[in-house]
Amino acid sequence: FVTLFSTILKSSYRERINSVLALISSLYILNNLRHFSPAKVYPNFYNNRKEIRRDHKGKNSGIYMFINLADSTKCYVGQSSDIAGRINNYLNNSYLASKNNSNSPITKALQKHGQSGFSLVILEYVPISSLDQQETFWISLLNPYYNVLSGGAEGSLGFTHSEESKALIRNQRTGTSQSEETKRKISDANKGSNNSFFGKMHSRASLLRISVRKSLGVVYIYSNTWELLTVVTSVKKLSTFIEANYATIINLIRSGSMYRGGWYFTRTLVNPEDTPKISDQDSREAKELYKVIINSKDIRKPVFLFDAKSGNFIRRYNGIIECAHDLKMSNKTISKLMAVNGKSGNYIFSAHRVINVK
């Protein structure tokens, strides 16, 4: 970020504001990508264009991602056998406006927000022979907002369906189902040696990609001490199980906030080795967990109290009012302290059960 800071100091007031916003967005993006270790991160696609071109003077092939700086949940994953060439295309407004490209969601977004409205991330450099495989992997993993196809060979190196085509595909598929006889014939035709995969084994990489694709949409339920309790197959199912609003769960996942003082909901494993205590979302143990969550509806904004000297956990208050009354403090003061794991007197106040005490 040294280059970005020097740019900020030399630029006009308006440019400084935009650069600072880009820096803040970039820090957020880097935090979200910390588990993936991307090859390169360029905070602002347009402002960093010279650096991008300099870094890719050779013919580099790889997987790249655009992230909308105004809404970092919106991104696009693509592949290229020549990243520099692809980048030059995206910087060319005539290319974006051409008939063959103007229908692409990412192209529309670049035209709407401008190239300076996006960050560019090079997720990884891979041989041309691995582009399809790795693009499919990243799209399956990240489920990017602007991607229409699932990547790889299906992606056709930038091709996207028109809105009319997508509508036709939806209409053709909606409400259709195979007859039992058809299902049986398909099953018989793919059994044993008739199956093209008969006698073969998946590589570790293939197994990982299959696992990721099957896990898309799942929600991991962690305790307030970050112990993995169980895994639910979708947000919709979780909202039914715990009688919570769908949008509420989505917001909790995005913000990383705790639910009712006891649980976190995530889309990814906090640690790769995490194993759920309850393996079946429909088991008796899981239903007991959902019941406990439902019965905790009176806990809105719990306060976790720690010893300021040792950092040891002392107790949980079910709300700010309860804490304020017990410790003879104002609600406002406690709320401010909770937001930053702040210290007052002999105590540290937090909205989380597990904190890093310095």
User: What per-residue confidence (pLDDT) applies to 274?
Assistant: 87
Tens-place pLDDT, residues 18-77: 555 555 555 555 555 555 578 898 999 999 999 999 999 887 899 999 999 888 778 999
pLDDT tier, 205 (very low <50, low <70, confident <90, very high otherwise):
very low
Residue at token pair 């995969």: 197
Angle (nearest 5°) at CA 265 between 262 and 271: 100
Give me the pLDDT at residue 198, please: 52
How many CA atoms are closer than 13 Å to the CA of 215, on its beta-carbon side? 16
Contact 292, 221 (CB under 8 A): no
pLDDT of residue 31: 54
Question: What is the pLDDT at residue 176?
Answer: 42
Which residue has better confidence, 141 or 325? 325
Per DSSP, the three-state class of 205 is helix
- Reading the block at residue 10, the tokens are 């030399």
Question: How does the average pLDDT of the chain come out, rounded?
Answer: 78
What domains can be seen in the chain, in order of their start residue?
2-150 (3.40.1440.10), 217-294 (no CATH), 303-350 (no CATH)
The stretch 326-343 carries a mean pLDDT of: 95
- d(CA 71, CA 118) in angstroms, rounded, equals 10
Q: Of 286, 221, 287, whose CA–CA distance to 260 is shortest?
A: 221
* Of the candidate ranges 79-88, 213-222, 282-291, the one whose mean pLDDT is the lowest: 213-222
- What is the signed CA dihedral for 7, 11, 13, 17, rounded to 10 degrees? -20
**This prediction's pTM:** 0.43
- Interval 122-180: pLDDT, tens: 999 999 988 888 888 788 777 788 886 655 544 433 444 444 444 443 443 344 444 56
**How far is residue 117's CA from residue 71's CA, in Å, rounded to a whole number?**
10
Which one has a higher pLDDT value, 5 or 297? 297
Q: Does position 192 have pLDDT exceeding 90, yes or no? A: no
Between 191-200, 227-236, 272-281, the lowest mean confidence (pLDDT) is in: 191-200
Q: Tell me what pLDDT residue 15 has.
A: 53
> What is the model's pLDDT at position 142?
77
Q: What pLDDT score does 19 carry?
A: 52
Reduce the DSSP state of residue 112 to 3 states and report it: helix
Lowest-confidence pick of 113-127, 190-204, 284-298, 320-334: 190-204
What is the pLDDT at residue 12?
A: 54
* Least confident interval from 93-102, 330-339, 341-350: 93-102
Residues 358, 52: Cα–Cα separation, whole Å: 38
Q: C-alpha angle 104/109/114, rounded to 5°?
A: 130
In which band, very low, low, confident or very high, does the pLDDT at 95 lie, cut at 50, 70 and 90? confident
